[in-house]
Amino acid sequence: MSFLTMKTLHSVLGEMKEKFAHIALECEVVGLGQAPGRVLAADVVAAEQSPGFDRSCVDGYAVVSGDTFGASESVPCFLKVLPPAQMGMATKVSVGRGEAVYVPTGAQIPAGADAVVMVEYCEKLSQDTVAVLHACAPNTNIMYKGDDCGFGGLLAARGTRITPLHIGIMAAAGVTDVPVYIMPCCAIISTGDEIVGLGEPLPLGCIRDVNTHMLGAELEAYGCRVTSRRIVGDSFGEIRAEICRAVCEADIVLISGGTSVGDKDYTRAAIEAVEKDSVFAHGIALKPGKPTIVAKVGGKPVLGLPGQCVSAYIVFKMVVQPFLDSLCGISGGLPHLTAELTANVHSAPGKLTVLAVKLNYAGGKFYADPVHGKSGLISHLMASDGLILIGDRREGLTSGEIVDVVRL
Amino acid sequence: MSFLTMKTLHSVLGEMKEKFAHIALECEVVGLGQAPGRVLAADVVAAEQSPGFDRSCVDGYAVVSGDTFGASESVPCFLKVLPPAQMGMATKVSVGRGEAVYVPTGAQIPAGADAVVMVEYCEKLSQDTVAVLHACAPNTNIMYKGDDCGFGGLLAARGTRITPLHIGIMAAAGVTDVPVYIMPCCAIISTGDEIVGLGEPLPLGCIRDVNTHMLGAELEAYGCRVTSRRIVGDSFGEIRAEICRAVCEADIVLISGGTSVGDKDYTRAAIEAVEKDSVFAHGIALKPGKPTIVAKVGGKPVLGLPGQCVSAYIVFKMVVQPFLDSLCGISGGLPHLTAELTANVHSAPGKLTVLAVKLNYAGGKFYADPVHGKSGLISHLMASDGLILIGDRREGLTSGEIVDVVRL
């Protein structure tokens, strides 16, 4: 038998970044309606100031704040009422000492005014007199021009995945179209004599193809187009032919199965038969996920993932997704949450270990129960709420330690 | 001026559930390829056992475990090698005392064997003899039939939003199609004389329509179809006409703006002109979000949201989304995360207060800094990472308190 020479996850991701530095995702410009969920290919700045004028935050009277100093319910100040401001129109009237203009929420503040007294604190005594029952400081209840975003101000940076809130601020700032990346298209090959497609008869000794469905769903959720999903047996020639085809049709190729060093593990040999010396990593110090292959074929990433579906899922999350993130400038951000581990767990020294946990929440605190069971059961992953990582220098974690949790 | 009679958020959501108990979302059956992101309309159970046979978890020799008891590198046990198991085929050979069968990972365990010794612990001495250097207990390295999911076992419950992992386990269990809800279609009306559509000239005193874009993006992200997005001025007749049209075309109508009790706040009157006494809540003890209207028009939910876009966003998250969740059986689940508040904050007693926070992470712990600033700036919401809630009986929260945070 032969052995793998493992590299650390960190070094493999670094090498991938370097080997595929030539990949520049294409981009396109889409309207705001098509933008949610897409990733910005460039910084987006405000096309207009928001608001474009000084606005009232309340229904009330625009005044010179100095007039109200000392005003109270027992000693109101009396102001002369000028014609009111109208919504959606420039306010032509201006306010001087001893004067007030009614402004509905959102209307333009008249020139001369530096505060708005809420209507609740005013009493209109006649057509042209209002009593102000409350003092107000300068700038009270005014949103100034550009307060929300100034012209040219950054609204969202390259590498941002666009949420409805981004849509909101972009609309507010007059942005109609945004540049977004066109995600790479991917081909998925699931290998193994025992793998049978969904809906086909399932002979004894065979199992359903899980990986083209699960990995395909992950890629589509990311925004990638999946060009093909094929199942091939443990045949060197067929795998080689499928890789050739996939490298032609797609930007990235994922192959699951046959990535270890057994007699029938043809994936590495098939990749190298398509392009000699194309494999630059075989074996990652990651558990699960050790038998992983990374190659550069015709300049394109070809990744061999473990056939076992839980391992394939972990490798997708730990290798493929961070690689996609690096292509489109998505940066890591904060951990999802932290939790207190409720039991000692052992890990595999020398490997970064990924462990499934079930979360419990009590008294403002999260607790993470390790989910044990036979490795490779997708049902155990389903019964979990998150994943924790144990570094390769650790032999395990101790009950009571605080761990970062990646939500599933 | 008039005043609102506020109801608690809890009671409004309860009333909505009751008033709209007659709404039964339609459902459709889709293939796994179309299922990710959809919400299950019924429980999904395993169509097949997974695995469908006892499988080896490793490359190794299937043995009667008792034969290996006491075996070690210095005192191996010697077993007779029978023909190997093949991937993807029923294993016909059976194993007795003193015998061993080579099984690759995933192959069927031969009858009679109750453990698999990893190939690393075996040494093949000749064509028909293997030395086992390691004792193994019964059941070692075997995944039994149905271990991952038993026939008829629950894979995912009604109200589950389908993730790639669900796709994985459903494929593993032979499920080809799933029943999913068809989300309600929604019409959005943005009202206000000052509201101007994106891309149109922006006169002084006017602002861009934000709400049809932002709320539309939220609804689409939820899975709803948005049938129309209209802007109308502060005109009772126009708003009434738009509500009529919207109630005919959509399942749910959202109207933003004109929901307070000012002179030009026509939304409530326009709704009641379409159907008398249809408004059953006007005013929610929620900050921001107080001027919210909930009505039942022609049996359909018509919701009036504050025009101010941050308030509209909060009401969407606190009222509309929980209502949609109740329609399709999505249950709350765990909080997103908890954090330690870094400053005292005041709230509005008598109202449930929603406060934006910026998260910091240090030493395995999250800290939430309250984001202050003029209310109603969408840029402040953008600068935040999450929202916290302060109950209506509280006057505020104290620095150092642990708070639940909803990630933005």
- Nearest chain A residue to B211, by CA: A168
Please give the Cα distance from A205 to B108 (Å, whole number). 6
Please give the Cα distance from B84 to B124 (Å, whole number). 13
User: What pLDDT score was predicted for residue B1?
Assistant: 52
Please give the Cα distance from B317 to B323 (Å, whole number). 10
Task: Tell me, yes or no, if A89 comes closer than 8 A to chain B by beta carbon.
Answer: yes
**In A193-350, at which residue ranges do the beta strands (DSSP E only) sit?**
195-196, 207-208, 225-232, 252-256, 279-282, 286-287, 293-297, 300-305, 337-341, 345-346
Which residue in B296, B278, B251, B223 sits closest to B18, CA to CA? B296
Q: Which of A57, A375, A404 sits opposite B376 (nearest CB)?
A: A57
Q: What share of chain A is helix, strand, coil (3-state, %, to 5)?
A: 20, 35, 45
Please give the Cα distance from B383 to B395 (Å, whole number). 25
Residues 10-69 of A with CB under 8 A from B: 32-33, 36-37, 48, 50-53, 55, 57, 59
ipTM over 0.85: yes
Task: Tell me, yes or no, if B119 comes closer than 8 A to chain A by beta carbon.
Answer: yes
Q: Which residues pair with A283 in a beta bridge?
A: none
3-state secondary structure B107-130: CECCECCCEEEEHHHEEEEECCEE
- Nearest chain B residue to A157, by CA: B382
What is the token pair recorded at A162? 């666009």
Task: Tell me, yes or no, if B173 comes closer than 8 A to chain A by beta carbon.
Answer: yes
Contacts of A240 (CB under 8 A, 6+ apart): A270, A273, A274
User: What pLDDT score was predicted for residue A1?
Assistant: 52
Considering chain B, what is the average pLDDT of its residues?
Answer: 95
Contacts 24+ apart (CB under 8 A), B220-223: B220/A36, B221/A36, B221/A37, B221/A163, B221/A164, B222/B183, B222/B321, B222/B324, B223/B37, B223/B38, B223/B39, B223/B181, B223/B183
Task: Tell me, yes or no, if A174 comes closer than 8 A to chain B by beta carbon.
Answer: yes
Q: Which of A172, A335, A364 sits opposite B338 (nearest CB)?
A: A364
Enclosing H/E stretch for B257? none
Stretches in chain A below the pLDDT threshold 50: none
Contacts of A152 (CB under 8 A, 6+ apart): A45, A46
- Nearest chain A residue to B36, by CA: A217
At residue B110, does pLDDT exceed 80? yes
User: What pLDDT score was predicted for residue A335?
Assistant: 87
Task: Tell me, yes or no, if B155 comes closer than 8 A to chain A by beta carbon.
Answer: yes
What is the token pair recorded at A48? 């207009």
Answer whether B377 sits within 8 Å of A148, measured CB to CB.
yes
Task: Tell me, yes or no, if A383 comes closer than 8 A to chain B by beta carbon.
Answer: no
Residues of A in contact with B408 (CB under 8 A): 163, 165
Q: Output the CA–CA distances (angstroms, integers) from residue B214 to A347, B46, B302, in the order listed.
A: 45, 39, 18
What ranges in B173-307 are assigned the alpha helix state H? 211-222, 236-249, 267-274
Answer whether A203 sits within 8 Å of B88, measured CB to CB.
yes
Q: Which of A87, A208, A379 sits opposite B174 (nearest CB)?
A: A208
Q: Coil, strand or helix: which one is B373?
A: coil
- What is the Rg, in whole angstroms, of the alpha carbon atoms belonging to chain A? 31
> Which residue has tokens 């300049």?
A299
- Nearest chain A Cα distance for residue B147, angstroms: 8
Residues of B in contact with A290 (CB under 8 A): none
Task: For B166, list phi and psi in degrees, rounded to 5.
Answer: -60, -40
Contacts of A117 (CB under 8 A, 6+ apart): A60, A61, A63, A68, A100, A132, A134, A136, A140, A141
Enclosing H/E stretch for A172? helix A164-172
Please give the Cα distance from A314 to A116 (Å, whole number). 58
Answer whether A207 sits within 8 Å of B106, measured CB to CB.
yes
User: What pLDDT score was predicted for residue B34?
Assistant: 98
Residues 214-253 of B with CB under 8 A from A: 214-218, 220-221, 233-234
Half-sphere exposure in the Cβ direction for B245 (13 Å, CA): 15
Answer whether B88 sits within 8 Å of A195, measured CB to CB.
yes
Which of B169, B190, B224 has the highest number of chain A CBs within 10 A, making it the mutation to test binding with A? B169
Q: What is the mean pLDDT of residues B257-286?
A: 94
Enclosing H/E stretch for A101? strand A99-103
pLDDT confidence band for B406 (50 / 70 / 90): very high
pLDDT in tens, B325-337: 999 999 988 889 9
Whole-model pTM over 0.90: yes
Answer whether A213 sits within 8 Å of B402, measured CB to CB.
no
Residues of B in contact with A167 (CB under 8 A): 213-214, 217
Please give the Cα distance from B282 to B305 (Å, whole number). 10
Residues of A in contact with B108 (CB under 8 A): 204-205
pLDDT in tens, B195-212: 999 999 999 999 999 999
Q: Which residues pair with A295 in a beta bridge?
A: A279, A302
Contacts of A211 (CB under 8 A, 6+ apart): A188, A190, A256, A257, A305, A307, A309, A312, B168
User: What pLDDT score was predicted for residue B199?
Assistant: 94
Please give the Cα distance from A172 to B208 (Å, whole number). 5
Q: What is the mean pLDDT of residues B207-218?
A: 98
Residues of B in contact with A208 (CB under 8 A): 48, 50, 171-174
Burial group, residue B362, by CB count within 10 angstroms (0-12, 13-18, 19+): exposed
- Nearest chain B Cα distance for residue A329, angstroms: 19
Q: How many CB pairs under 8 A join A and B?
A: 278
B188 close to B215: Cβ distance less than 8 angstroms: yes
pLDDT in tens, B35-94: 999 999 999 999 999 999 999 999 999 999 999 999 999 999 999 999 999 999 999 999
> Which residue has tokens 């558990």?
A287
Dmax (CA) of chain A: 99
User: What pLDDT score was predicted for residue B354?
Assistant: 95
Task: Tell me, yes or no, if A201 comes closer than 8 A to chain B by beta carbon.
Answer: no
Answer whether A374 sits within 8 Å of B52, measured CB to CB.
no
Q: Which of B87, B214, B403 sits opposite A192 (nearest CB)?
A: B87
Which of A148, A218, A225 has the highest number of chain B CBs within 10 A, making it the mutation to test binding with B? A148
Please give the Cα distance from B179 to B12 (Å, whole number). 30
Answer whether B217 sits within 8 Å of A307, measured CB to CB.
no
Enclosing H/E stretch for A363? none
Which residue in A68, A61, A207 sits closest to B49, CA to CA? A207
Give the Cβ contact number of residue A196 at 10 Å.
19
pLDDT confidence band for B363 (50 / 70 / 90): confident
Residues 255-274 of B with CB under 8 A from A: 262-264
Which of B87, B119, B367, B406 has the highest number of chain A CBs within 10 A, making it the mutation to test binding with A? B87
Please give the Cα distance from A375 to A372 (Å, whole number). 8
Q: Which amino acid is at A197?
A: G
Q: Which is more confident, B364 or B211?
A: B211
Task: Tell me, yes or no, if B313 comes closer than 8 A to chain A by beta carbon.
Answer: yes
Q: How does DSSP classify residue A280? A: E
> Which residue has tokens 């809906």?
A199
**Tally: H helices and E strands in chain A:** 9, 28
Q: Which residues pair with A369 in a beta bridge?
A: A358
pLDDT confidence band for B121 (50 / 70 / 90): very high
Residues 64-83 of A with CB under 8 A from B: none
- What is the Rg, in whole angstroms, of the alpha carbon atoms belonging to chain B? 31
